[in-house]
Amino acid sequence: MDTSKVGELIYSLRKEKGLTQKQLADQLHISDRTISKWERGYGCPDVTLLPSLSELLGVNIENILDGELLSNEFIGGNMKKSKYFVCPTCNNIVMATGDITLSCCGRKLEALEAKKAAAEEKLSIEEIDNERYISSSHPMTKDHYISFIAFATGDQVQIIKQYPEWSFQTRIPNRKHGTLLWYDTQAGLYYQYI
């Protein structure tokens, strides 16, 4: 750990938040001399202070310890390149249009890798009244179900939540061609082009 990098980061984040060393120290219940020492690279925050410091400065603990905030690469804006995340504990669904670091229920989430669906895995799609009727014979049990469907075009994503023990069927407007994605709680993320 580079204490001077950690100190520079604490200094810049403190300034960004409009806090003096004294104000930050008071919120952490320590002396302002300790904050000064950190910012000059002569020490690092005690491990017991890291959660509070992280919350006050609005950054992850890992970033404080690394002494830097890394910017994510700009991906563009093509919604077909969006990334999907699902928390294994609470099943929260998150979609991001670029690189991002996420955590949920105390765990760091990794972007799901979409697999191209084989013929027997594809969802059934019928055109009815200028809509696409999407269905599947998936058993949709409490322990094994399709959690969500997403239809992505270059400029839009529509996400439709699905629930265990409900039959799998939904309708989406019949507009442009795009990518249909779905998340099977046991097999992962799949896609097919429509």
pLDDT digits (tens, 9 = 90+) for 140-189: 999 999 999 999 988 889 999 999 999 999 999 987 889 999 999 999 99
Round to whole Å and give the CA distance between 120 and 130: 26
pLDDT at residue number 158: 92
pLDDT at residue number 187: 95
pLDDT at residue number 10: 94
pLDDT at residue number 63: 86
pLDDT digits (tens, 9 = 90+) for 50-65: 999 999 998 888 888 8
pLDDT digits (tens, 9 = 90+) for 94-128: 999 888 888 888 888 999 999 999 999 999 999 99
How many other CB atoms sit within 10 Å of the CB of residue 22?
12
What phi-psi label fits residue 140: left (phi over 0), alpha (psi between -120 and 50 degrees) or beta? left
Q: Where do the domains of the chain lie, and which CATH numbers do they carry?
A: 3-66 (1.10.260.40), 79-193 (2.60.40.730)
Round to whole Å and give the CA distance between 40 and 34: 10
Round to whole Å and give the CA distance between 82 and 115: 14
**Three-class secondary structure of residue 137 per DSSP:** coil
Q: Which residue has the tokens 């520079």?
A: 8
- Packing angle of the helix pair 3-16, 50-57 (nearest 10 deg): 40
Round to whole Å and give the CA distance between 158 and 154: 12
pLDDT at residue number 68: 84
